[in-house]
Structure 1
Amino acid sequence: MEHAVKGNAAVMGLIAGMLAACGGGGDSPASDTSNKLLAAVQTAAAAVAENCPAWSAAAIYTVDMCVTYNGAVYKAKWWTQNNVPGTEQWGPWALQTTTPTPTPTPTPTPTPTPTPTPTPTPTPTPTPTPTPIPGGREIGSYFAQWGVYGRNYEVADIHTTKTPVNGVQTSVADQLTFINYAFANTYAKNGGYECDMVTKAETGGSNPNSPDAGTGGDAYADYQRSPARTVNGQAVPWDAPLSGNFLQLKLLKAAHPNLKIFISLGGWSWSKNFSAAAKTDALRKQLAKSCVKMFIAGDLPVQDGRGGAGAAKGVFDGIDIDWEYPGGGGQTYNTVDTVNDKHNFTLLMAEFRAQLDAQGAIDGKRYALTAAIGAGGEKIAQTEPALYGQYMDWVNLMTYDFHGGWEATTNFHAPLYHDPADPSTGNLAKYNSHDAITALVAAGMPRNKILLGVPFYGRGWKGVAAGPNGNGLYQSTGGAATGAYEAGIDDYKVLINKTGTRWYHPVTKQLYLYTGSGGEWWSYDDPTVIATKMQYVRDQNLRGAFSWELDGDANGALTNAVWIGR
């Protein structure tokens, strides 16, 4: 039975944060903890041989640094400071051994061949204790290029917004391991397709049949604009070769050295040329080389006194490919090859990996390659995860937008699990995070390369009938609800201020809001939902989670929930 949740959303968020900090609200057998500790002790041989200094609250530790504390050796899973070893089950320290003094290696002795034993009858067993993710989990989010306008969200706001982590007010930037900058576009150029910089309104949203559909860009916001607020509090000099979001991202990294920035290519509106650019080896090389030259080597075109060779060098640590979608299913103006996109996507990832490695050899640095991928089973089937996965650092599985105002009945847009009462049929019946991850793993993608997507926005309808349960779920509607920026969608920071009755669905685990008969119905994630999803990330041993997008958050509340739930 569902429980209506009314009252102060901030109080609910605080309770969720406390639960997530303690390991979430899920059931975790005591034997799981014992197994983890036992595994840590059994794999401690390398750790005990190291010279591990005593832990200090003032010191900063990074991945694989070891310390001794209370007679035990611990190794850092990620960047940490002032986190006491051994006090947090899901904290930054991994127990290596309880005997810090190295033990001499005994003389090997022959091991007798064991006597075979009969194979027991198989019985159902619990999910095995996950192997810890090396180096800790990846927690990221997207920064939208256009957020600096209507939403008035600057890169500097990532730096200045703070939420509590272990009782200390901590910048949102320190609660992320990476940020994807959305988006860069590709254009027909020099007989093929290349990354480039233009400032041109995108017409595809309002007129997908326009010849210019999919060819927009905003170089002004990217590297020419003077921000309203800056990371270092200083105005950008008029003659600086780099300004706009790119400069602020570079300054953000300097202030938060554990943060990486990736340029994201494509997205829903700008995936027009991927299929055409991936058709041949020569075209793939041309595209990848141009993108690496522009965003990794940093060679920006000179426009309005900004740009030049190396102007953006050091801004980006890798490239995120957001091709929506190989084989079709995206904008109607996209180039599509329903037969060859599947393997060409793999070949394109291989080429980007090769070009990034070539630039990395010059720079003495490894650059990351990731991809944002569709979560529908039919989208996953249009690619080759077992093949292209070898080239990726990880994939961002877009486990949201499963349902929305384009449909006639209400439904959850980011459910964790399938609800048997959901009237959806066909592919839509498996539109949920768990089924998406199951399909992706079955197709050959390693779990430690999968990031779960978390929306910082909701989707809603208007004119919603109450239905037999009075909650508007799976009921007829009058179309997409009015949104602050777009019909059928609103940011979390807007939704928390809407009046109505809220429920946490017991099966899908998502929150929904209903304003009453004939009113609005919205589904979205709040800190409580995110705590459950992050417990799932841990239980499934996934690489981490990412969100879309930072400017939808409410003073860092959702980012904080993802971070403390990792």
Structure 2
Amino acid sequence: MRRRNLSGLAIAAAGLSLAATLSPAANASPGHGTDRGNHHQGSAPDYKRVGYFTQWGVYGRDFQVKDLETSGTAAKLTHLNYSFGNVNADGKCFTGNVPGEADAWADYVRPLDDAGSVDGVADTDDQALAGNFNQLRELKAKHPGLKVMISLGGWSWSTHFSDAARTAASRKAFVSSCIDLYIKGNLPVDGTRGGQGAAAGLFDGVDIDWEWPGSAGDTDTVFRPEDKRNFTALVHEFRTQLDAYAKSGAASRKGGHHGRKPKHYDLSAFVPASPEKIDAGFDVPRVMRDFDFVNLQGYDFHVSGEKTTAQQSALYAKGDFSGDRTVRDWLKRGAPARKLVLGMPFYGQGWTGVTGGGDGLGQPAAAPAPATWAAGYEDYKALKKLAESGTYKVHRNVRDGSAWLFDGTTLWTYDDPQVLRTKTAYIRDHRLGGAMFWSLDGDTDDGELMTAVDRGLSRR
């Protein structure tokens, strides 16, 4: 099944690959604040650790919310972005059971037994909230510092953003619908599930994943020259309505914050690496005033749909896309360093039929490499097994902060713990806001990559 979301840098030239459909940024051209979270309270500074949880991962991958607890990952996160919420042709946030468009069954209808539940208690037939949403609520009960964000859009579901943001009236209606559905938690009734306030207090903010304002994204995604202006206004409308709801007191009552100061709702976005896409869609100084932080695309610099192998997530790369170049491009356009969260992949891009010899990088390739879920796209946990198999050789460019596997025919470019340690040192050295990961289901059962990032940011 084709799933929403990507945003790579090079897919446009090479043709959209199936792998691109899997990440929150993976297609054509590459396109937070100081909150404390979990066990990091009291540390200085408190770097953000933002992980994306995919709605559809509970099916074939069988990656459940509970796995974030058993792996130890939940205790290391500050933010969990639930991916994704969709926008309909009327410019409103919506859910339901619409194949390819919405999955209320996964979100809040699907019952879990005691073995699959975070708190060890099975869902009952009469409870209003089940599915992933209820498990996330249970996860937050165990980790009060964890913030859960609803991520809107993604590669495949950015179709109607431009329409929704086009006028002041449409922006107001769009934002209001998203707040009603996710922040107020007013879910459509589905049997005994849902209803007014069923998910109240679950989501702590909104992550905007519009790919891309002002420039091409997925084949059916509308874009216009005026998107840049409208995106700025849309972000401000989200900030305005979120703040107004927080100040109304309703948020505190529904979230159990009686007698405390008004709740602050975080507002973030997934943003591109391509300078052309940045300039086409982002008035950086203005939008950064309203964002608590933004998640920088730090991967899919090159993808398996291309005809030549190349690094997908190097920290440095002379004359090419890289993590450092992305950071510098946002800084020079006026973004504060403390609001820049560097994206890191928990997966790899791969090619097969590689010729030309050497270490395989920069060589012609015949096709995307065979993989578990989609050709050319493989989870880190599977690539780790390849690295340990003895068939593949691990190659590194320590200076550039990159790694890849090559067996003479098939090449995978990916991040492993050593690369992530280099990247976390970079985040500390440049006083950035933290690290983001797409996506949490690619990590090992014991959260090896998450642990590497956590230790790197904590200097442990």
Q: TM-score range by the shorter chain?
A: 0.7 to 0.9
The correspondence for 1:312, drawn from 199, 216, 222, is 199
Matched, 1:346 2:346: no
Contact 2:39 2:76 in 1 (8 A): no
Please list, as runs of the form range in 1=range in 2, the aligned pairs for 1:57-456 lying within 5 A after superposition: 80=39, 93=43, 133=45, 136-161=46-71, 171-189=72-90, 193-202=91-100, 216-227=101-112, 229-337=116-224, 339-362=225-248, 363=251, 364-382=262-280, 383-419=282-318, 429-456=319-346
Structure 1: which 4+ aligned runs deviate by more than 4 Å? 77-81, 91-94
Shift of 1:200: 2.0
Contact 1:299 1:311 in 2 (8 A): yes
Shift of 1:303: 1.4
Cα distance in 2, alignment partners of residues 401 and 459 from structure 1:
8
Residue 530 of structure 1: SS of its match in structure 2? helix
Cα distance in 2, alignment partners of residues 548 and 486 from structure 1:
16
Cα distance in 1, alignment partners of residues 400 and 175 from structure 2:
40
Shift of 1:80: 4.5
What residue number does 1:512 align with? 404
Cα distance in 2, alignment partners of residues 93 and 291 from structure 1:
34
Contact 1:142 1:548 in 2 (8 A): yes
AA partner of residue 378 (structure 2): D
Cα distance in 2, alignment partners of residues 93 and 509 from structure 1:
26
Residue 351 of structure 2: SS of its match in structure 1? strand
Shift of 1:79: 5.4
Contact 2:38 2:77 in 1 (8 A): no
AA partner of residue 397 (structure 2): H
Cα distance in 2, alignment partners of residues 417 and 92 from structure 1:
32
Residue 112 of structure 2: SS of its match in structure 1? coil
Residue 370 of structure 1: SS of its match in structure 2? strand
Cα distance in 2, alignment partners of residues 323 and 79 from structure 1:
29
Deviation sequence 1:441-474 (CA, Å, 0-9, x none): 111110010000010000000100143xx21110
Shift of 1:557: 0.2
Contact 2:309 2:360 in 1 (8 A): yes
Shift of 1:482: 1.2
Shift of 1:329: 2.6
The correspondence for 1:465, drawn from 329, 333, 355, is 355
Residue 157 of structure 1: SS of its match in structure 2? helix
Change (3 A) 1:272 1:547: same
Higher relative contact order (CA 8 A, sep 6+): 2
Cα distance in 1, alignment partners of residues 360 and 53 from structure 2:
33
Cα distance in 2, alignment partners of residues 149 and 276 from structure 1:
32
Shift of 1:201: 2.1
Residue 183 of structure 1: SS of its match in structure 2? strand
Shift of 1:227: 3.0
Contact 1:504 1:510 in 2 (8 A): yes
Cα distance in 2, alignment partners of residues 185 and 153 from structure 1:
21
Contact 1:397 1:451 in 2 (8 A): yes
Q: Please identify, of 141-150 and 370-379, the stretch whose mean Cα deviation from structure 2 is larger.
A: 370-379
Question: Which structure has more helix as a fraction of its residues?
Answer: 2
Residue 464 of structure 1: SS of its match in structure 2? coil
Q: Give the alignment's TM-score, normalised by structure 2.
A: 0.85
What residue number does 2:31 align with? none
Cα distance in 1, alignment partners of residues 208 and 287 from structure 2:
12
Shift of 1:358: 1.3
Deviation sequence 1:215-239 (CA, Å, 0-9, x none): x111110010123611011110111
Shift of 1:271: 0.3
What residue number does 1:560 align with? 451
Shift of 1:304: 2.8
Cα distance in 2, alignment partners of residues 431 and 198 from structure 1:
39
Deviation sequence 1:38-92 (CA, Å, 0-9, x none): xxxxxxxxxxxxxxxxxxxxxxxxx99xxxxxxxxxxxx76549xxxxxxxxx95
Deviation sequence 1:269-319 (CA, Å, 0-9, x none): 100011111110000001000001110010001013210000000110000
Contact 1:301 1:307 in 2 (8 A): yes
AA partner of residue 149 (structure 1): Y
Aligned-pair identity in percent equals 43
Cα distance in 1, alignment partners of residues 173 and 164 from structure 2:
8
Contact 1:79 1:92 in 2 (8 A): no
Contact 1:416 1:432 in 2 (8 A): yes
Contact 1:430 1:436 in 2 (8 A): no
Cα distance in 1, alignment partners of residues 85 and 401 from structure 2:
34
Residue 379 of structure 1: SS of its match in structure 2? helix
Residue 264 of structure 2: SS of its match in structure 1? coil
Change (3 A) 1:351 1:238: same
Residue 497 of structure 1: SS of its match in structure 2? helix
Aligned residues: 404
Shift of 1:507: 3.6
Shift of 1:328: 2.0
What residue number does 1:474 align with? 362
Can you give the 5+ residue segments of structure 2 that lack an aligned partner in the other structure? 1-33, 252-261
Cα distance in 2, alignment partners of residues 385 and 508 from structure 1:
27
Can you give the 5+ residue segments of structure 1 that lack an aligned partner in the other structure? 1-62, 65-76, 82-90, 95-132, 162-170, 203-215, 420-428
Contact 1:527 1:557 in 2 (8 A): yes
- RMSD over aligned CA atoms reads 1.6
Please identify the structure whose Cα radius of gyration is greater: 1
What residue number does 1:488 align with? 376
What residue number does 2:16 align with? none
